[in-house]
Every structure is written in C-alpha cells, then in structure tokens.
C-alpha cells in the first residue's frame, strides 16, 4: 500500500506541521505500508501524480482560507486514489469543515462527539497519539518539580489555576506557555520547544492535564470537545503521572482510572491530595507513570492510528466492491 500524508493547510501558516512526520512514521512502521511519503499541501498535487499512492491522507487543520484541495482531488480522481481527511482541531473549527465534505472519501475526526455532526456517510473517530521517537522517555527517578503544565492560558485554564493557587502553596509548581496573567505566581509566559516538552514531563512528579476551550469556528452547534487532547498521550509516553481535571469520562476509554494509569480531580483540594500522596509514595508514583507509558505504547501510538486507518480504508473499499488501491470509493 502506498500512502501519501500531506498537510491540510499550507506549511506557511501551519504551526503543527511536525505532527505530519509522526503520522508518516506511523505508516512506515506498518508492514502493510510498503511506501510512504509526507509533504506539504503546497506540493501535494504534484507529489501525488508522481508517487501514485493508494491513499492520500490530508492531515491537520482545514481552517485557513488559503487551504485549497480541488487540484489534489482531481489528482486523486485521475489516479483512482482514496482521498481521506484527518482533522485534528475538532470541534473548535467545525464550522469550516463543510468545505471538505464534498471532497473527502473518508473523514477522520479527532473528537468523538463532533463525528456525529458531520453530514457525510463515512466519518470515523480517530484521536491523536504519541510518537515513539519524539515522546517516549525513561521516567526520572528524581523529580525537578512537583507540578508542571505547559500550554496557552485559555480562560478556563486561568480560572482553574487561580482557584488552585492557594492549595498549591509550598509546592514547586511550573506553568509555562503564553497568555498567562501575572497574578498566577507560578505561571510565566515562557516558551518550551516541543522537542523538550517530554523531558519536562518526565522530570515532573505530576503533569497537569487541563482541557482547552477556545473556539475559532464553532458557532453552528457550539460543540463541546469530548476527546482528550494529544498531550494526554504525549505526556503519558514521557513517563509522568498525569492529574486530569475532569470535564468528561471519555478519558476512561484510553486510560484505566481504576488501574492507576491516570489520576482525576475535580477540585483544587483533590489535586493537592494527589500530589501529597505521590510525594509520600515515590514507588506508587513510578508505578502509575510506567502503567500509563505501557498503555500508550500498546494502544496509543501513531502506529496504532495508522493501522486503524488502513483497516477502515480496506473495509470501506470492500463494502464498495472495489479492491484496495484499485479505484476511489464508490459513492454512498
């Protein structure tokens, strides 16, 4: 199977182009994928015509107005190639996703709840994952800090950390990112490169998991995200104990709360209790970190996601009566 993974937006405006390499490596690790190429959207049409893939996977965000797919779709039709989209910013950009619906043979969405709102016959839920090269670390036995978080200071996160600030006194807390207000004493607007982020997680006793609420184009249904974000899997791969603020229970489909793969909290005091327990019992802290890392290695790598894509594409082609790689999916 020949697979082309290209960006869903031009690299000139794509802040997450590194994720495309993770997806490409996921396919490369499968025996079923004999050839894989990754490229930007700008050169995707010509690359497709030269490479002649069985599957074109357009990955990323389709929101930028400069994201055009008609030429790539024409190439897919000329080659008899399945053209799928894997969108990673649902539901926050759902209102603009309508432009891909007439072009996509299959749509993969990172968010389970958003899947039910697409007007397309072939839509599947596919969360993001961890990359074996980029995200896995050996957990540090000596921790440099008690609590760590890196991310944008969205309003919901600011409110939560303001509430947590009094109960986290006396602990070594580091919050980094952008748009954090000065009244949160342990937060700074300092950028941590993505390549270094797993090292920060691995050397932290607790890594916070705080959901995002920041809609860019989500007014049609005002959808709430149900699926945890990609850093859930990336932090788990790094070998840290995650404390996740509970806003939904879908997390239990990925990590077993009862088996101590992740810790949940719904109040500042519960977070403090978790941290104190882990400080008092380093062996249990290491056990939780290793359990989460092992679960991620088994179930939540880009290799797992690539295998799922191959399975779905093959299944849909069988349903349509066309052998894999022979022609585009028949219309529903």
For the domain that residue 80 is a member of, what is the CATH number? 3.40.50.2300
Q: What is the pLDDT of residue 330?
A: 41
In a domain, 28, yes or no: yes
How many domains, the chain? 2
In a domain, 234, yes or no: yes
Give me the mean pLDDT over the 299-303 stretch.
98
Same domain, residue pair 116 and 24: yes
- Give the confidence band of 1 by pLDDT, cuts at 50, 70, 90: confident
Given a cut of 60, whether residue 305 has pLDDT beyond it is yes
Q: What is the pLDDT of residue 215?
A: 52
Three-class SS of the chain: CEEEEEECCCHHHCCCCHHHHHHHHHHHCCCCCCEEEEECHHHHHHHHHHHCCCEEEEEECCCCCCCCCHHHHHHHHHHCCEEEEEECCCCCCHHHHHHCCCCCCEEEECCHHHHCCCCCCCEEECCCCECHHHHCCCCCCCCCEEEEEEEECCHHHHHHHHHHCHHHCCCCEEEEEECCCCCCCCEECCCCCCCCHHHHHHCEEEEEECCCCCCCCCCCCCCCCCCCCHHHHHHHHHCCEEEEECCCCHHHHCCCCCCCCCEEECCHHHHHHHHHHHHHCHHHHHHHHHHHHHHHHHHCEHHHHHHHHHHHHHHHHHHHCCCCCCCCCCCC
Same domain, residue pair 295 and 307: no
pLDDT digits (tens, 9 = 90+) for 73-125: 999 999 999 999 999 999 989 989 999 999 999 999 999 999 999 999 999 99
Give me the mean pLDDT over the 150-156 stretch.
95
For the domain that residue 202 is a member of, what is the CATH number? 3.40.50.2000
In the chain, % of residues over pLDDT 90: 83
Question: Which residue segment(s) compose the domain that 163 sits in?
Answer: 133-299
Same domain, residue pair 291 and 313: no
Given a cut of 50, whether residue 321 has pLDDT beyond it is no
Give me the mean pLDDT over the 239-253 stretch.
95
Give me the mean pLDDT over the 137-165 stretch.
96
């Amino acid at each position: 199977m020949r697979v082309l993974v290209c960006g869903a937006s031009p690299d000139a405006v794509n802040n997450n182009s590194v994720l495309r390499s993770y997806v490409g490596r996921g396919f490369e690790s499968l025996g079923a994928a004999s050839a894989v190429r990754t490229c930007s959207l700008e050169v995707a049409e010509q690359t497709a015509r030269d490479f002649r893939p069985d599957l074109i996977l357009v990955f990323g965000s389709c929101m930028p107005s400069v994201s055009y797919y008609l030429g790539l779709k024409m190439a897919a039709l000329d080659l008899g190639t399945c053209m799928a989209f894997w969108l990673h910013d649902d539901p926050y950009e759902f209102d603009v996703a309508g432009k891909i619906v007439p072009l996509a043979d299959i749509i993969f969405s990172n968010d389970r709840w958003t899947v039910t709102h697409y007007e397309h016959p072939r839509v599947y839920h596919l969360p993001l994952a961890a990359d074996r090269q980029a995200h896995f670390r050996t957990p540090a036995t000596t921790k440099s800090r008690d609590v760590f978080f890196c991310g944008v200071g969205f309003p919901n996160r600011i409110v939560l950390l303001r509430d947590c600030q009094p109960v986290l006194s006396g602990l070594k807390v580091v919050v980094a990112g952008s748009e954090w207000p000065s009244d949160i004493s342990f937060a700074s607007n300092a950028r941590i490169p993505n390549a270094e982020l797993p090292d920060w997680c691995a050397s932290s006793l607790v890594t916070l998991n705080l959901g995002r609420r920041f809609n860019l184009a989500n007014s049609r249904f005002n959808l709430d995200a149900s699926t945890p974000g990609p850093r859930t899997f990336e932090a788990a791969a790094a070998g840290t104990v995650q404390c996740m603020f509970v806003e939904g229970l879908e997390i239990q489909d990925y990590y077993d709360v009862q088996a101590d793969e992740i810790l949940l909290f719904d109040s500042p005091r519960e977070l403090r209790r978790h941290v104190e327990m882990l400080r008092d019992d380093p062996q249990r802290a290491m056990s939780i970190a290793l359990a989460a890392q092992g679960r991620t290695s088994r179930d939540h790598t880009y290799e797992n996601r690539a295998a799922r894509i191959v399975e779905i594409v093959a299944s849909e082609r069988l349903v349509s009566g066309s052998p894999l790689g022979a022609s585009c999916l028949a219309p529903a």
